[in-house]
Structure 1
Amino acid sequence: MKNNLFYFIILLCTVYLVFGCQNKLCNSTVTNKNNFTVHAKLKNLKKGYVIIESKDESLPNTFNRDTVSVDNGGFTYTNCIDNYKIFSVYLPQLLNGKEYKNTKHSISCNTSKKIWFIGYPGARISIYGKVSNFVDGYPVDDKGVNNDLKSVFSQTIPIENIIENLISKSNEGELVQLSKKEINDSLSYYDNLVKNIKIEFIKSHPNSVAAAYLINSSYANQEFDNILTAKLIENMNHEKLREVSFYREVLQRLSANFKLNPRFYKH
């Protein structure tokens, strides 16, 4: 029935409100068990520093960031966290000569120019790979949370790099031999490749924290619409994921849209 999806989301929203809990700042009494550590080693990573950024949960549209020194092509990072959280690592050598400015807003940098990993309490994360005109390096950990992220991003990041290069060259007038339609058709083709890789992974990994992150980020970025997002969530393991921050966040967003737009589920 056409109403089933609507009631399903409302039910999930209720579960979230009853059982969910907000992210908390790390308490000094539990700091050790909530620590996580990242060890990275990347070929062609220049000596200097990297910038590790994450969302500040206490303030809207603001970010926390740490500057971490690089030595012998690698770096080590330790932090304290109470739930799953996405982190991005910026490499100044890929910022195209632009000076980094320490603001509360996210650093402007293309997806393929960053390293991505999911931090969580007790995680021991390793990142290996290389740096060229993008970061071909991906995380793994002993629980497999980041291994899932790697399995997706090792496919999508190289494609994202193609997309970003097409956009950059088009903006700089380097693709005059191609019509605007040809450029847009190419971008649509690669965008759909990335989208389909994510969808297929999510469908086949209903227990995955990384899949929950992909749903949340793709919905927030309007890559996934309301209907697709609701259908993907319907297939997820709600009992296992209900305390995962990414999952709770996408449920909040989706349930808000159902309430604001109660007719969209009929489409």
Structure 2
Amino acid sequence: MNNLGSNIMLVLLVVFLASCKNEVSEVETPKTFTLEGTIEGLENNTLYYRMPNKDYDALGYRTDSVVVTNGSFTLTDSIEGHHFVTFFTRMKELIKGTPRGYYPAKSGYLAAILYPGANIKVSGKASDFMDAYPENSDSINNELGTFHKKIYPLMNESVNYLVKSSFEENEDIQNTLKEKADSVTAIVNDVKKEFVTNNPSSVAALYYLSDMMMRSQIDNDIAIEAFNNLDSALTDMAYYKDISYRVNAINSTKEGAVAPAIKTTSTLDGNEFDLASYRGKYVMVDFWGIWCGPCVSEMPKVKEFSKKYNGRLEILGVNSGDKKQRIIDFVNKNDYQWQQVMDVRDSEVDNFVLRYNVNAFPTKFIIDPEGKIVKKFVGSGEEAFTLLEELLK
């Protein structure tokens, strides 16, 4: 064979090998996980779960289920990234009922960290809590399972005190039971803090650091130190990014700081809105959701102030958790015509809840005419409106 023929054959061989390599790479990149287990006492029930999927509800989840037969189940589903997912059943033994409703106890949920390629085994029992954990599988879920074995019995003990107190008529006994619940909860939080600070390479600890910051269960200084010590291998995970936004927001939302920018087309009409356009006036930024009863109950008061101080006060609503059309219908029905923007959970720009380190709803920020934060108010109450009266009188 002449040199030209040899060269052609060599090129074809290289192209063929590259093609094969690409095909192998695609095969080697799994998009699914498998979760299988046997849980004594679960019998013939159904496990329900919510999977991250931005095409479904406003928070970016879809609800699904897996059938349990004689305590055993197998679930295979697709997923992108690492996600802490909980599974629950409607077994009455696991529902912490009270005379007025129930406690949504985390100890009643099966939990696992799901990600592409994971093959997770679960075992345990369902008694008056979900005493079942991922184990003998991958290291990520082994860490989570070992940790949950420590805190789930304590969490269950705490909620059982609360359930018992709800049926107690004697006020002194009620208070004693609630104090016991608080005492055990404090122990749980201490165990969590130890876990997140001592395991800088753990995906499970990363999730719990994010969760504790969201729920205000950890001091800012401790959270920042734990974040700064995290393994660099975790930086591409969504939980890491969430924490980084909250860490930045701890300083950027202090009193006297210039309020973080809100410049977005995530509005009800699709037109761009810029918070900076409100300079020269006082502003109330109201983080809310239709699903939030206290948020909705305060909105007539917000409306009253928007009219009373028209021209001197601007209201900005930041909705989290509702679809656009539902928000439009709600504000039009109630004539709430101030500016609304929508929080977008997985956006680099429009994740306002994280950028303002919002931990509860409603949360309100009062901003002065220079764009600086005067005060942050968490929860419902008259304090924000009292301050506005003082500033605008």
Same fold (TM over 0.5): yes
Structure 2 partner of 1:260:
253
Percentage of matched positions with identical amino acids: 24
- TM-score, reference length from structure 1: 0.76
- Contact 2:35 2:75 survives alignment (8 Å): yes
Structure 2 partner of 1:11:
none
Alpha-carbon shift at residue 114 of structure 1 (Å): 0.6
How many equivalent residue pairs? 226
Matches within 5 A, 1:27-46: 33-46=30-43
Distance (Å, rounded) in 2 between the aligned partners of 1:57 and 1:168: 36
Shift of the 202–221 alpha-carbon distance from structure 1 to 2, 3 Å rule, reads same
* Superimposed CA distance per residue, residues 131-175 of structure 1 (whole angstroms, 9 cap, x where no aligned partner): 101100011364300111111111111111111111111122267
- Contact 2:95 2:103 survives alignment (8 Å): no
Shift of the 176–66 alpha-carbon distance from structure 1 to 2, 3 Å rule, reads same
- Contact 2:95 2:108 survives alignment (8 Å): no
Structure 2 partner of 1:249:
242
- Contact 1:148 1:210 survives alignment (8 Å): yes
Alpha-carbon shift at residue 221 of structure 1 (Å): 1.5
Shift of the 120–184 alpha-carbon distance from structure 1 to 2, 3 Å rule, reads same
Say which structure, 1 or 2, has more relative contact order (CA 8 Å, 6+ apart): 1
Shift of the 82–96 alpha-carbon distance from structure 1 to 2, 3 Å rule, reads closer
Matched residue type, 2:45 = G
- Contact 1:45 1:73 survives alignment (8 Å): yes
3-state DSSP class of the match of 1:222? coil
Unaligned residue ranges in structure 1 (runs of 5+): 1-28, 99-106
Matches within 5 A, 1:12-161: 33-57=30-54, 60-61=58-59, 63-94=61-92, 96=95, 109-140=104-135, 142-161=137-156
Alpha-carbon shift at residue 196 of structure 1 (Å): 1.4
Rg (Cα) greater in structure: 2
1:223 to 212, 217, 223: 217
* Superimposed CA distance per residue, residues 33-84 of structure 1 (whole angstroms, 9 cap, x where no aligned partner): 1210000110011203111223444665353221211112111111111210
Structure 1 partner of 2:182:
188
Distance (Å, rounded) in 2 between the aligned partners of 1:163 and 1:31: 45
Unaligned residue ranges in structure 2 (runs of 5+): 1-25, 258-393
- Contact 1:90 1:113 survives alignment (8 Å): yes
- Contact 1:46 1:93 survives alignment (8 Å): no
Shift of the 55–191 alpha-carbon distance from structure 1 to 2, 3 Å rule, reads farther
Matched residue type, 1:253 = R
Distance (Å, rounded) in 1 between the aligned partners of 2:223 and 2:151: 19
Alpha-carbon shift at residue 229 of structure 1 (Å): 1.1
